[in-house]
Amino acid sequence: MNLAEQPEQSAALSAQRLVESPTLARPTLVCLSHLRWGFVYQRPQHVMSRLAKDYDVIFFEEPVLAGDEPPRLEASSPADGIEVWVPRLPEGMSAQAINEAQRQLLDERLAQRLPGDLLLWYFTPMSLAFTDHLQAQVTVFDCMDELSAFMGAPAQLVDMERLLMARADVVFTGGVSLWEVKQRQHGNAHPVPSSVDIAHFAQARDAVVEPADQASIARPRLGFFGVIDERFDIELVDQVAALRPDWQIVLVGPVVKIDPQTLPRRPNIHYLGARQYAELPAYLSGWDVALMPFALNASTRFISPTKTPEYLAGGCPVVSTAIRDVVNGYGHSGAVFIADTPQAFVSAIEGALHLKGTPDFLKRVDAALEGMSWDNTSRFMKEQIECLR
């Protein structure tokens, strides 16, 4: 049944019966995300794949606008208990029509499910525009980042976040500095910094087969994996490469929202592109120092980079700019070194080059990571939900 064949009101009423009927099925958790499941494997995928053990997770992505076919939902199941729903909409639709189409597509599909409790999990406040009619048993706002500070953020995002804050039963933040702001806006906010799959990245501590595109690169190697966007300090990387042309800088990840032509081009800077999550330990194993060259600007003011514990779990020393959550969380660990200028970055790297794999360094790393795991993080989040059900 397509959009034209079923009135929107009927679909909405059917979807609402999901929360009004007696519980006959596992709770349905609809996760509304601005990040795609198949993009970079990070917090949304880690958390949702673990919550899927107890809830039926529907990962609802932002729409894809292409062609002129009628609106439809494309569904896939990338992991047990996870369904990814992608709205496919024709080009040229207005913002209001896009929201109306998403609302109806979601209602229709939810109405086909067995009655049961409905949970809503927002990674983006913008999704409230087509879900504000749903009365979930629990509404979660997982505020990973201060999205309004990111390049290309919608003008109405701040207002939408204010509305979501008023509706949310619980708010999680991606780091402590962001929590310090959001806890003044919501009485049930919790700092939940992104965690790490230690066993996965600890593979980098052992001898592994070098990826072919990295094997031929000389050493010492300084590495970065992650999204290369407006948060990345292009000038810092360029100047470090210029100061030490004998060092090789390996950058693994997609280039997003910035012109690739603006990236520095030097013989000792190597752009390897995006790689799968499963491949990252093999790259990390071949680095002598891991880098976090983030620019200090509005888009990085509240970030708490997931890659900090991932690098450390792989047994690699880290040199970072002065990101507040990194300084406060790891600055005294003896495993992460903070520098703000190209010259200071070079000095910090020089001091870190001899640390990788040494027993004392690994002891400091393990102490810094003690108790951290995505299992523990997801368990805490689930406990907050269950307390509200």
pLDDT digits (tens, 9 = 90+) for 29-53: 999 999 999 999 999 999 999 999 9
> Are 309 and 196 a contacting pair, CB within 8 Å?
yes
pLDDT at 207: 83
- Output the pLDDT for position 70: 95
Positive or negative torsion for Cα 2, 8, 13, 18: positive
Vertex 300, ends 294 and 303: CA angle to 5°?
105
Tokens of 132: 């504000």
Confidence of residue 115 (pLDDT cuts 50, 70, 90): confident
Scan for tokens 């309004």, then name that residue: 148
How far, in Å, CA of 93 to CA of 48, rounded?
31
User: Which neighbouring-strand residues pair with 32?
Assistant: 60, 122
What pLDDT score was predicted for residue 21? Answer: 46
Instruction: Give the single-character DSSP code of 123.
Output: S
Over 50: is that where the pLDDT of 217 sits? yes
Q: How far apart are CA 101 and CA 11, in angstroms?
A: 12
Query: pLDDT at position 116, please?
Result: 86
Map residue 33 onto helix, strand or coil.
coil
CA atoms within 13 A on the CB side of 196: 25
Please state at what angle helix 43-51 crosses helix 374-388, rounded to 10 degrees: 60
Q: What is the largest CA-CA distance in the chain?
A: 67
Instruction: Give the domain 198-369 fold.
Output: Rossmann fold (3.40.50)
Pairwise CA distance, residues 218 & 247, whole Å: 8
Q: What is the mean pLDDT of residues 336-347?
A: 97
Domain positions in the chain are 8-195+374-388, 198-369
- The answer to whether the beta carbons of residues 273 and 254 sit under 8 Å apart is yes
Mean of per-residue pLDDT scores for the chain: 92
Name the residue among 125, 84, 113, 158 with its Cα closest to residue 15. 113
What stretch of H or E contains 340? none
Q: Determine contact, residues 103/13, Cβ cutoff 8 Å.
A: no
Over range 127-138, report the average pLDDT.
97
Determine the length of the chain. Answer: 389
In this predicted structure, what is the pLDDT of residue 146? 85
8-195+374-388 and 198-369: identical CATH topology: yes
**Right CATH number for 8-195+374-388 from 3.40.50.2300, 3.40.50.2000, 3.20.20.410, 3.40.1390.30?**
3.40.50.2000
Percent of the chain at pLDDT exceeding 70: 94
pLDDT above 90: percentage of residues in the chain: 87
Confidence of residue 8 (pLDDT cuts 50, 70, 90): very low
Instruction: Indicate if the pLDDT at residue 22 is higher than 80.
Output: no
CB 326 within 8 A of CB 292: yes
Residue entry with tokens 């052992």? 206
CA 301/CA 245 separation, integer angstroms = 31
Mean pLDDT of all residues in 357-369: 96
Distance separating alpha carbons of residues 45 and 84, to the nearest angstrom: 11
In this prediction, residue 151 carries a pLDDT of 67
Q: Which helix (H) or strand (E) holds 379?
A: helix 374-388
> What residue spans of 54-211 are helical by DSSP H?
95-111, 157-167, 176-182, 198-201
